[in-house]
Structure formats: C-alpha cells, structure tokens
Structure 1
Amino acid sequence: MHHSWDNIILNNRYNYHLFSNQTAKQFIKTTHTNLSAEKIRYVSATIGMLILMIPVLTMSFYLFKTNWHNNAVLAVLIATLPRQIQLLQMCYTLISYHVGIAMIKARINGLFAIFKDNHQDLTPFIQYDKISIKQTNLPFDKANLPKTGRITLIGQNGVGKSSLLLQLKEQFGNNAYYLPAKHSLFFANAMSYQGSSGQQLLSQVDELTKITSDDIKILLLDEWDAHLDRKNMAMVDERLIKLANQCLIIEIRHR
C-alpha cells in the first residue's frame, strides 16, 4: 500500500506535514524526470521522422536522377515536395503523440483518483452495545469522554472496535491521532523505521509525547501490542501511562 494512504487519509496532521515535506522533495525530482521524459519523447519522434524520411528522400533522389532530362517529371516532383514535407510533419506529430500516450493516460487516471470520493459510513460496522471499557466494565459512550486518562476498549472480534477508532478520528479531526498496528506513517526519528517492532513503537510514542500537549488531545491506538514481546510491551505500557496525564488515550489491545 502506498505511503500516501496512511499519511493523508488517516489525517494525522503531524505525519502529514512530514509527508508533505518529503513529497515536496520528490516533486522537484519528478519535475526533472518529467523534463527528461519530454526530451526522450521529442527525440524519439525526431528519430522516427528521420527513419521515414530515408525511403522518401531515396525515392525522390532516384526519380530526379532517372528523369533529369524530362522537364515534365521534374516539374511534378518539385511541385509535390511541399506535400511530402507536410506528410513528414504529420508523421512526426503522430509519432510524438503515440510515444506520449502512456504518460497522458497516467495523468488522467491520477486526476480521476484524486477526485474520487472513497468516504464510507462506518456506523453499520460498529456494534456499540457490544463494546465496553475494560477499566470500568461500562458501555463505551463517545459523547462523554474525559480530557485525560486511558480507556481500553474490549469486545469480541467483529464488533467493530477498529471501526470505532476510525470513526472517532473522523469526529475529532486534527485533535485526534490514530496509530494503527501496521502503517507507513512518516516520523522524524530514524529509529521509527529501524530496529525491532518494539523499538520502532517506543520511538514513535516518544515522538508523539512531544506534540500531544499542543496538537493531540486524543490518542487512538489500534492493537499496538500485536507484534511486541512482553519486555517491549511493558516498556510501551509504562510510557502510555505517563502520556495519559497529557491526553486521552483510547486503545485496543491485542493481548
């Protein structure tokens, strides 16, 4: 799955800014690549036209040579030269368009993909009456949420816990941050992309801790412990306990 899905669709502002900076650099690189592609297109069209010119010029030279003393034939050949040049120009244009047709189709498909609305209502996938809070054993009520603390959602598989987190992200927008178990979100710390799953998650949580006081009010964690051993799980859990003093953490635990 492409990086843009996580960094744009999930609408986590922090990762979106990092992704935007990376995209800007890639855009400059793409611009130079596009210029090179345009040069290749024109060169290919020129070479194609030259190849077509070889039999035309060969035949014209042959007719001129064999009818050198026939004024009528020479007059006809001279009169048709502008038409031959026009035909070659048309061939050049056709070859140019043929070479660039794949690029044009890719651009059109990209525009359709941008304007396509993929929004889906998650309500039918959520069984609210079967989702409760582990700490209190009470049903989860998204209308009455505390400002800080930690809420662990529990319920059987298939009741829509992950869909509920996504719905909360959509409801609270930039005030909420959604971190799925598997993702391609951009982070500033290089450790977020290296090391074990536990080291990566620790680095990501530490980085999020620095921005929660200003931007993030609700941290949504979807099965963050799915790929961790007990040692790393305990270390991440300790950090989340401290982080719960700054913001509200709503989590789904794998174990």
Structure 2
Amino acid sequence: MIKIVFNLLNKKFIFTMFALITIQQILVAMGTACLSLSGQNLNKPTHFVLFITGFLILSILPHFVTIFLRKTEMQGYFQAYYSFIELRLLKFAGSAKIWPNHQQKEKYQTAIGPEAENYLTAIAFSIFDIFLFLLTIALNILAISLVVDSRFILAFAVSAIVSYWVFSRLSSSIDQLIEREQENKMRFLSYLLKSWDNVFLKNSQINQKYISKLEGHFEQTYELIGKANFQTELLVLILTIASCLPVFVLIIYLTVTHLQDASYLAGLMVTIPKQISILSNYRSVFQQVTNLNTFTTRFRSYWESSHLTESDLSGRIKPEKIRLNGQAFDSVEQLIKDLDTTKKGRILITGNNGAGKSTLLVHLNAFLPESFYLPSSPSLEIGDQLGSESTGERILKHLEFVANNPTPVLLLDEWDANLDNTNKELINERIDQLARQSLVLEVRHRS
C-alpha cells in the first residue's frame, strides 16, 4: 500500500519534501548545539552571548522553511488524490464494459470520494512526519552527544530498541481491530448513500426501518472506533515510558558523577528540555507509525473498492424475455450485427422487469462503435449549466446536444419516467426528428 501511495505522489514533490525537511531539521539541530555550548560557556560572556544569539536565530529560521514546506505539502497531497482519480476513474472513460450493478456502484462512489482523499493525504503526511521525527532525533542526539557526552548515543539507541520491541509485540492486534472498524465504517457509509428516498419521503414504516438499520451500523462502528483508539493511545503511553527510562537513568548518573563540575552540569541541564523533546519525538514516531498502519488499512479498503473490472453485461440480459418493436431476437451478438446495417428509425425495447433491458442498452453502448447513451434523469456534461430545470427540460437539453453533435445510434433509457403527458409528447416529437437521421433504441418506462 505504501508503494502505491508513493507511485501516486509526484517524484519532484517527494524530493522537494525530503529536501525541505532535511534543511529544517539541520537548522534545529544546530540550534540544539548552540544551546548546549552556551550552557558550557556561562563563565565566558562573549562566547555565551555568541552561542545564545546563534540559538535564538536558529530557533526562528526553521519557521521560514515551514512556509514553503506547507505550501508544497498541501499541493502535493491534492495532486496525489487527482492521480488516484485518474487511475481509478478517468482512465476508464467510455468503458461501458465495466458498468457495475447498483450495489457495486454505491460502494465504488464511496471509495473514490473525499474519504479516500483524506486517508491518502494522511498516509503521505505520516510518511513525511516519520522522516521528520527520525531526522530530528538523529541530528539532535548527534548534537548533544558531540557537545555534552557521547554516551547519550548509546542511551537513545537502547530507548529505540526497547520501544521497537514493545511496538512489534502489541501493534498487530490493533491492526486487526482497525481493519474491522474500517469494514464496518464502509458498510455504514454505503448504507448512508441510500438515505435520500428512505428519509425524506413520508413513508413511516420505511423511515423507521431505515433509521433502525442505520443506527445498527453506527453502533457497531462507534464501538470499534472507541476500542481501536483506546488501544492505540495505550500503546503510545507504554512506548513513551519504555523510551524514557534509559535516557533518564543516564541523566541522573551523569548528574551525580559531575556534581563538582558546574560547567558540565550547566551544559547538561540546558539540554534536558531538548532531550525530553527528543523522547517525545520517539513517541511521535511510533504514533505516526501506528497512524500509518491505521490509514493504510483504511485506504486499502477504498483502493480495493475502487477497482473495477470488465463486467459480463451479456450475462445479465435475458433475450428470450425481451422484444424489439414487439419481435423476438436470437442473441445479443446477432442484434449487434443487425444494427450495423440499420441506419435510422426507432426501436422500442420491451420486456418484464429484470429482463435486462437497461443492461442491454449499456451493452450496446460498449460494443457499437458510435453510440450515445442517455440515462434516465440525465445530468451529463453537455456544456449547459444544469440547475433547477424540470426532468423534461433536462432531457430536452440533452437531446439538443445530441442533435448538434450527430451520432449514428442513440440509446435512451426510460426517458419518459416521471414526465407528464405534455412533456412526453414534446420529447417524443423531438426523438422522432432525431430518428430521421439516426437509429434510436429506447426503453420506455411505460410502453
């Protein structure tokens, strides 16, 4: 999953981020070194002022880098999301062969929505934050070890090893819990997409049934979110304690053994807040690793749900239950061959519910070289601003688009649904005009 995210990120963006973070943390580490040296030079006013001035300047400079870092960061994350959309959506433009069923469609639309962008951004953010914290730890430990005492390298190394051991022991159970949480969350969000008709229409039995099931999905997800986050924070607390002990023991030991060396103690004491900050960065590293696992698990579900393959549309079509202008036809393949020789006119597709009439239109759209599919209640990008028009006005706008961009085959799916008689007659006349130049195949809501 991490590899997939890196492939979505622009390579120039990745290089720029790592470069800016490195520059920023080098400045921070130089500030740590100046702070240590100022403590060791309390008895030398000139040197003390020089080092403390350097520390103050170096405390400000990283914030200038942050300005460019944040700008680059947010643009890069959004660009990665667009790459995700290109890969999972836009590259399939015109691929009617992958038209999903309704359940797949709802899950797919959820998968490519804003939640995917949030988790993709969170994964990338965690990766760069882990690099930032590790670089901060390494450079600041190096600065303290060179200026104060080299044994701090060993103490921080022991802290890292103990922390990693604790993390590797406890993190797998949390990952499993997060996976269950995400599965339930996806079910909740998919069910939420069915809310419009089930909530806003005044059908009390349906309303209550829908709300009851939605509450059930919510309660399951709510409980798992609580468990996952509690265990995650408990792990972070344990890691914090484990990482602090070796360094705190060394600080106490060095303090006791250098009680007579005021200069050494001054240099050591001024670095204690920085050392605590380094240890908190250990906590931050493991917290971000935990977050990375969480976000990766959640993004994986969106990545997998956004994967569409070619559908066997013909398997959903029952030719024996469908009529074309009242006549039976042998097979979909033969129909496609016959349509190649039919240049104009209207063909009415009729049949029982579930016979696959609408699927037949989608299938024809996939295999006929030049065809235009107009779904029921269309809102295609036709150049005109589609706003508060009635269904009839919307269909007429789409038909005008087709008239201005002639196509050999026009496929109309239940264009007469939810239309009054006046609009039906008006649109029917317009279709008659189009049928003088093109072949029109139509599924009528009421034949």
Residues 165-202 of structure 1: CA deviation (Å, up to 9, x unaligned): 222122215x12222215564332113x4321111111
Residue type of the partner of 2:391? S
For the aligned residue pairs, the C-alpha RMSD in angstroms reads 4.7
Residues 15-66 of structure 1: CA deviation (Å, up to 9, x unaligned): xxxxxxxxxxx9xxx79x94997289729x85xx8x9599667776555545
Q: Classify 1:221/1:126 alpha carbon distance in 2 versus 1 (closer, same or farther; 3 Å).
A: same
Task: Name the structure 1 match of 2:444.
Answer: 253
Q: How much has 1:225 moved relative to structure 2? A: 0.6
Task: Name the structure 2 match of 1:207.
Answer: 401
| Inter-partner Cα distance in structure 2 for 1:227 and 1:10 | 25
TM-score after normalising by structure 1: 0.62
Residue type of the partner of 1:171? F
2:360 to 164, 167, 171: 164
Q: Is the Cα–Cα contact under 8 Å of residues 219 and 250 in structure 1 kept in the other structure?
A: yes
| Inter-partner Cα distance in structure 2 for 1:194 and 1:7 | 27
Task: Name the structure 1 match of 2:259.
Answer: 69
TM-score after normalising by structure 2: 0.39
Q: Is the Cα–Cα contact under 8 Å of residues 322 and 350 in structure 2 kept in the other structure?
A: yes
- Percentage of identical aligned residues: 23
Q: Is the Cα–Cα contact under 8 Å of residues 7 and 184 in structure 1 kept in the other structure?
A: no
Q: How much has 1:159 moved relative to structure 2? A: 2.8
Q: How much has 1:223 moved relative to structure 2? A: 0.8
Q: How much has 1:69 moved relative to structure 2? A: 3.4
1:195 to 389, 398, 422: 389
| Inter-partner Cα distance in structure 2 for 1:113 and 1:169 | 24
Task: Name the structure 2 match of 1:38.
Answer: 125
| Inter-partner Cα distance in structure 2 for 1:106 and 1:8 | 29
Residues 122-168 of structure 1: CA deviation (Å, up to 9, x unaligned): 24x4332443233xx43346132211111112233333322222221
Q: How does 1:75-86 map to 2 (within 5 A)?
A: none
Task: Name the structure 1 match of 2:107.
Answer: none
Instruction: Give 4+ residue runs of structure 1 displaced > 3 Å after superposition.
Output: 4-11, 33-37, 51-71, 84-93, 105-116, 182-187
Q: How does 1:15-30 map to 2 (within 5 A)?
A: none
**Pair 1:234-2:415 in alignment:** no
Residues 180-234 of structure 1: CA deviation (Å, up to 9, x unaligned): 215564332113x4321111111122122222x2xx3211111111111112222
Q: Secondary structure of the residue that 1:132 maps to in structure 2? A: strand
Q: Secondary structure of the residue that 2:440 maps to in structure 1? A: strand
| Inter-partner Cα distance in structure 2 for 1:155 and 1:119 | 22
Q: Is the Cα–Cα contact under 8 Å of residues 313 and 359 in structure 2 kept in the other structure?
A: no
Q: Secondary structure of the residue that 1:221 maps to in structure 2? A: strand
| Inter-partner Cα distance in structure 1 for 2:354 and 2:307 | 31
Higher RCO, Cα 8 Å, sep 6+: 1
Q: How much has 1:251 moved relative to structure 2? A: 0.1
Q: How does 1:168-187 map to 2 (within 5 A)?
A: 168-173=364-369, 175-182=370-377, 185-187=380-382
Task: Name the structure 1 match of 2:77.
Answer: none
| Inter-partner Cα distance in structure 2 for 1:220 and 1:68 | 88
Q: Secondary structure of the residue that 2:397 maps to in structure 1? A: helix
| Inter-partner Cα distance in structure 2 for 1:152 and 1:164 | 12
**Pair 1:100-2:292 in alignment:** yes
Task: Name the structure 2 match of 1:14.
Answer: none
| Inter-partner Cα distance in structure 1 for 2:300 and 2:353 | 41
Q: Secondary structure of the residue that 1:144 maps to in structure 2? A: helix
| Inter-partner Cα distance in structure 2 for 1:199 and 1:7 | 26
Q: How much has 1:98 moved relative to structure 2? A: 2.1
In terms of fraction of residues, the more helix-rich structure is 2
Q: Classify 1:241/1:194 alpha carbon distance in 2 versus 1 (closer, same or farther; 3 Å).
A: same
| Inter-partner Cα distance in structure 1 for 2:408 and 2:298 | 40
Q: Is the Cα–Cα contact under 8 Å of residues 41 and 96 in structure 1 kept in the other structure?
A: no
Q: Is the Cα–Cα contact under 8 Å of residues 7 and 185 in structure 1 kept in the other structure?
A: no
* Matched positions, count: 216
- Flag structure 2 segments of 5+ consecutive residues without an equivalent: 1-88, 98-112, 138-236
Q: Is the Cα–Cα contact under 8 Å of residues 7 and 186 in structure 1 kept in the other structure?
A: no
Residue type of the partner of 1:219? L
| Inter-partner Cα distance in structure 1 for 2:122 and 2:302 | 19
